[in-house]
Amino acid sequence: MVELPRRAVLGAAAMTSLGAVGSSAPGTATSQPVPQAGTLSLPTLEQLRRLTLPPVGALIYLSEAGREGWFRAASGPPPVSDPLEGLFVPTSGGHYVRLWDGVHGRPEWFGAIPNNGAVDCAPAIEACYALCPVTQLSQADYFNKRTLRLAQSWRTVQGVQGEAAEQGQGTRIVLSQQAPGVQRDDIVLIGTFEQPSHDHSRYPREIHIRNVTLIRDGDPAPHPSGDLRRSPAGLRIAHVERVTARDVISRESCLGFYIGGIVYSKLDDCLSIRTRSSATRANDIYAGFFLDGRISFGFAGGNASLYMNRCLAVGQGSGGKGSAGLIAQGAFVDSFIDQFESAGIASGMIFDAAGFRNPGQTVDLHIRNAILDGCSGTGISIDLDMTSGASIEILDLYIYAAGAGGDRGVAIFDGAGLVTMTGGQIHGDFRNGSVWLSRTRGVRLQGTKLHQASKPVVVTEASGLVLEPQINNVGKTSPEFAITCGALVRSIVRPVVIGAGGPSFRGGISLGPGSRHCHVDPTAVDPDSFGPPNPANKVWFNGTDARRSPTFASAGNVLSGVTD
């Protein structure tokens, strides 16, 4: 055993008498003493362990890099388990307790060595998280050889800065190349991967993570089953309540963020980036954000009250067909998505009810001010999968087709309910329709601006629609009508259609076979935008001028407003 010099004991005792000693219980704030001449400083944790216990209250300074700090001698065993000895160091006859503020702990105290790819920092980060209300990460890289698991309630993990592309720019948690599961494991898991057997009232809660970049140091590999929810995520948040993620950046994962089985949780200013192709091409779907609504845990949907604000997904060409900035499957109930942005990914947002049809599994969704740029697939795709009670708001979106064009701007199909799309803009050429509605009821399109489109609005087998878009082509000629409808029933069609720089469309509104009981008002359809200009092409019914069609009125349709 190492003997403590008497002079050091006296120095420590003097500081103790000044009230510098705090409780040995974790989470209790203590003031930091000021070093005095003659106090004992030990260079390693091992020497502190071997040190003969001085009088209770004596202070020792540990100078080992990363673990440095003041410790107080205390009697008896440590009050809580601390196997990595970040806060409590056992010794013969007692233990030493670290002096700290009782709130902010550091993984380095528990043995983490940042910026060293040979060291697995996951155990140290988890140990700090277990004992400290706030785990404070340094402006450095923490290499892990497995998933970092965070499941204790009332905890915060925070780094420095936000996005960090290079070492030293901010806090980065790296799933190391040396990790056996670098291609298939999650980088960070908040909660539990598998659904617990107990109900949600016992889920972990009040867990918060912010200002960190999560990096997979290898090519991601999708799950071989093709089940997207089992593909590796940068941050997986599952089976928890009241979780927040702010300024979290996920790089090089099949799923940037997985959200499933959560209650009242928020993502603010989070970013998913993927530039690498999968190690295996099969089932390679990239979702910047994946909302899993297929979990049943006592609520109407797979997530109960999810708020996403100013989140961004970037693809840079990675991921195969079916990839999107955001994908939601199942009952995506109470989802509020504001100012979401995607870029360089085939599709912006894909929603699939995936068989969740009964009245207890509602599909309500709120999308506001989305920016979906460079879409080669679909800007927003909503597959209602035969549901009848959908309630969806889409407000002031911005969609831009990829340079070679896209498939569809907004697609709503195979189900019904009440869907309202108000305002917003869709730019560029989407081959199958800037707005495509099929086998659906209850959709209202109001004031949405459709620019430079070959097929601005395409409708098949739909009813209960209100179509009031604003359509404009400048220097672009489409061989199609601005609005083409087949089997449209009990709906209102009242668009604005204009053009400039030459003929823009073949005509204004075309109602095809099976269209009945519709009210059509072409007042704001400008026949001068047609090629050639002709009022007879403002409204067609079954291929002829609706004004002169004997079957238009007999099918229960009404033509009003200015028709020439």
- Domain stop point among 306, 336, 368: 368
- Does 121 have pLDDT greater than 70? yes
- Domain stop point among 99, 131, 147: 99
Give mean pLDDT, residues 500-505: 91
Shortest CA distance to 129 belongs to which of 183, 208, 58, 216?
208
- Does 27 have pLDDT greater than 70? no
Q: Which pLDDT does position 357 carry in this prediction?
A: 59
If asked whether residues 131 and 93 sit together in one domain, one would say no
**Separation of alpha carbons 76 and 83, rounded Å:** 16
Q: Which pLDDT does position 199 carry in this prediction?
A: 79
Q: Which pLDDT does position 335 carry in this prediction?
A: 92
Q: Which pLDDT does position 24 carry in this prediction?
A: 42
Q: Which pLDDT does position 317 carry in this prediction?
A: 64
**Cβ atoms of residues 213 and 231 within 8 Å:** no
Cite the DSSP H helix spans in 44-165: 45-50, 122-131
pLDDT tens, position by position, 141-166: 999 999 999 999 999 999 998 788 88
Q: Which pLDDT does position 26 carry in this prediction?
A: 52
If asked whether residues 246 and 275 sit together in one domain, one would say yes
Give mean pLDDT, residues 274-282: 78
Which of 61-75, 311-325, 352-366 has the highest mean predicted lDDT (pLDDT)? 61-75
User: 355 falls in which pLDDT band (50, 70, 90)?
Assistant: low
pLDDT tens, position by position, 217-240: 999 988 888 888 899 999 999 999
**Cβ atoms of residues 506 and 456 within 8 Å:** no
If asked whether residues 263 and 283 sit together in one domain, one would say yes
**Cβ atoms of residues 130 and 86 within 8 Å:** no
Instruction: Specify if 449 maps to a domain.
Output: no
Shortest CA distance to 272 belongs to which of 326, 228, 321, 229?
326
If asked whether residues 257 and 336 sit together in one domain, one would say yes
If asked whether residues 87 and 153 sit together in one domain, one would say no
- Domain stop point among 49, 79, 99: 99
The answer for residues whose C-beta is within 8 angstroms of residue 84's C-beta and 6 or more apart is: 110, 111, 123, 124, 127
| Token pair for 447 | 């004031």
Q: Which pLDDT does position 250 carry in this prediction?
A: 97
Instruction: Specify if 453 maps to a domain.
Output: no
Instruction: Specify if 55 maps to a domain.
Output: yes
If asked whether residues 206 and 262 sit together in one domain, one would say yes
Q: Which pLDDT does position 360 carry in this prediction?
A: 56
Shortest CA distance to 186 belongs to which of 276, 107, 258, 263?
258
Instruction: Specify if 85 maps to a domain.
Output: yes
Q: Which pLDDT does position 224 carry in this prediction?
A: 86
Helices (H) and strands (E) in the chain, counts: 4, 41
If asked whether residues 122 and 209 sit together in one domain, one would say yes
- Does 38 have pLDDT greater than 70? no
If asked whether residues 182 and 71 sit together in one domain, one would say no
If asked whether residues 305 and 208 sit together in one domain, one would say yes
Q: Which pLDDT does position 170 carry in this prediction?
A: 94
**Cβ atoms of residues 116 and 125 within 8 Å:** no
Give the CA radius of gyration of the chain: 31
pLDDT tens, position by position, 41-100: 999 999 999 998 889 999 999 999 999 999 999 999 999 999 999 999 999 989 999 999
Q: What is the average pLDDT score of the chain? A: 89
- Does 202 have pLDDT greater than 90? no
pLDDT tens, position by position, 291-301: 998 887 777 77
The count of domains in the chain is: 2
Instruction: Specify if 64 maps to a domain.
Output: yes
Of 26-35, 377-386, 450-459, the one with minimum mean pLDDT is 26-35
Instruction: Specify if 7 maps to a domain.
Output: no
Residue 108 phi/psi, 5-degree rounding, is -60, -30
If asked whether residues 47 and 186 sit together in one domain, one would say no
- The sign one gets for the Cα dihedral 106, 241, 175, 348 is negative
- Does 418 have pLDDT greater than 70? yes
**Cβ atoms of residues 549 and 542 within 8 Å:** yes
**Cβ atoms of residues 384 and 363 within 8 Å:** yes
- What share of the chain has pLDDT > 90, as a percent? 74
If asked whether residues 58 and 168 sit together in one domain, one would say no
pLDDT tens, position by position, 509-543: 999 999 999 999 999 999 999 988 999 999 999 99
The domain in which residue 70 lies consists of: 41-99
Report yes or no on whether pTM surpasses 0.85.
Answer: yes
Instruction: Specify if 442 maps to a domain.
Output: no
**Cβ atoms of residues 546 and 511 within 8 Å:** yes
Instruction: Specify if 273 maps to a domain.
Output: yes
Give mean pLDDT, residues 194-198: 80
**Cβ atoms of residues 60 and 42 within 8 Å:** yes
If asked whether residues 147 and 260 sit together in one domain, one would say yes
